[in-house]
Structures are given as structure tokens and as C-alpha cells.
Amino acid sequence: MEILILLTIVNVALCAGFFLFLRFRFSPRRLLQDVEKELDLLYKDLQQEVDTDISLIEDRSASLRKLIATADKRILLAASEIEKRNRAAAFSASGESAENPSAASSGSGPSAPAPAPAPSGGSVSGVYTRRAILEKAAGLSRTDGSPSAGGKRITPEMSPRERVLMLARKDISPDAIASLLSLPRSEVEMILDLER
């Protein structure tokens, strides 16, 4: 009988202890603590991932800044190179225009002819236009079939092809030939290419 009572007391104590353990283990507070621990772990993992991503982005942005800086330097160098080439081209063009009147005056003999008056009746008074300079350098004259000042008729006008070839033989550039004959540059180059 005493053993039965003792076993009953032990049984009740074990049941009470098991109940208290389950209540503590699955209580809302314990569940909240477990969820908080999991969230803390997730937050730390996310923080590490964000830090690594930020460092990667900073490295890439630094490399992009270096690339942009080198590209800016190259653009500035290219712009200065283009400006130098344009200046050289303008200088050579001004040199050619300065050489042509001297060549015309030296090649025309001791007495160079005076510039022709403007068709409107006003005089240019010794100022050569670029077209007149090129015509004098090439030795061309306006040939429209009208009588000249001496009363003689001028020979018929040459074809554009013959005039282009004649000017090319005198070492005049295709640009100057095109502007002198009022022809497109492509047409002048085509005539010269076909003749070669």
C-alpha cells in the first residue's frame, strides 16, 4: 500500500515536471525568443552580404572613374590633335593662296597684267579674288565666244575634262580645280582617276 502511494506521488511529480517543461519549452515567450535569435542571425548574414556587395560596387565605381578619366584625357588629346591639324591645314591653305599670286606674277613675265574690272562697272583696284588668282596661276581665260578687247575672237572653250587635266598637269590641287571650274570635287577626282 505504501509502495502504491509512493508510486502515485512519483507519477504525479513526473507529470507535473513534464507539464512544466512543455509549458516552458513551447511558451509564447520562448517561441518569441527563438524567432528573435533566428532573425538576428539572418540580419547578421544580410549585413555581411550587403557589406561585401558595397565593397564590390565601390571597387567597380573606382575602376569606372579611372576609365572615364582616361577616356576624358584621350578625348582632350584627340580634340587638341584635331585643332592642330585644322590649324596646319588652314596655314597650308593660306600658304598656297599666298604662293599662287607670287607664282602668277613671276610666271607672267616682266609686266604682269592688271586685274580685270568687276562686271558691274565698279573696280576692284588691285584686289585679287581667289578665283582670279587661280585662273591666273592656271593660265586660263574666260572664253565665252565674245570678241576680246583687241577685236579678235577667243578660241572656243575647252571641255571640262580637258580643263581638269590641264590644271592637274600644272600641279593644282583637286579642291582648287573644283572651285575654279565650279565642278563637284567628286567629279574632278573621277576624271583624274580615269586618266591615271
Q: What is the pLDDT along the chain (196 residues), one digit of tens a residue?
A: 778 888 888 888 888 888 888 777 777 787 888 889 999 999 999 999 999 999 999 999 999 999 998 988 888 888 888 888 888 888 777 766 655 554 444 444 444 444 444 444 444 434 445 556 666 666 654 444 444 444 444 445 778 888 888 888 888 888 888 888 888 888 888 888 888 7
Residue 181 covered by a domain:
yes
The DSSP bridge partners found for residue 190 are none
CA–CA separation, 14 vs 97, rounded Å?
119
CA 130 to chain centre: 33
Tally of domains within the chain? 2
CA–CA dist 105, 112 (Å, integer):
6
Does residue 70 lie within any of the structural domains? yes
Domain endpoint, select from 57, 72, 94: 94
Q: What are 95-106's pLDDT values in tens digits?
A: 666 555 544 444
| Structural contact between residues 191 and 172, judged by C-beta atoms closer than 8 angstroms | no
State the pLDDT at residue 103: 45
Cell 528573435 maps to which residue?
36
Which residue bears the cell 569606372? Answer: 64
Report d(CA 68, CA 75) in Å as an integer: 10
Residue 76: inside a domain, yes or no?
A: yes
117: three-class secondary structure by DSSP: coil
Query: Can you give the pLDDT at residue 90?
Result: 80
Q: How far apart are CA 17 and CA 92, in angstroms?
A: 108
Domain that includes residue 169, residue range? 158-196
| 137-159 confidence digits (pLDDT tens) | 666 544 444 444 444 444 457 78
The answer as to whether 77 is a domain residue is: yes
Whether residue 110 is contained in a domain is answered as no
Task: State the pLDDT at residue 137.
Answer: 60
Instruction: Confirm whether 65 is domain-assigned.
Output: yes
What the block records as the C-alpha cell of 128 is 585679287
* Domain-located, residue 69: yes
Question: Do the domain assignments include residue 13?
Answer: no
94, 110, 130 — which closes off a domain? 94
Residue-level pLDDT at 100: 56
Question: What pLDDT shows up at residue 118?
Answer: 42
* Boundary of a domain, candidates 76, 94, 112: 94
What's the pLDDT at 167? 87
Q: Are 123 and 117 within 8 A, CB to CB?
A: yes
Distance in angstroms (rounded) separating the CA atoms of residues 185 and 35:
83
The amino acid present at 57, given as its one-letter code, is I
- The neighbouring-strand residues paired with 147 are 153
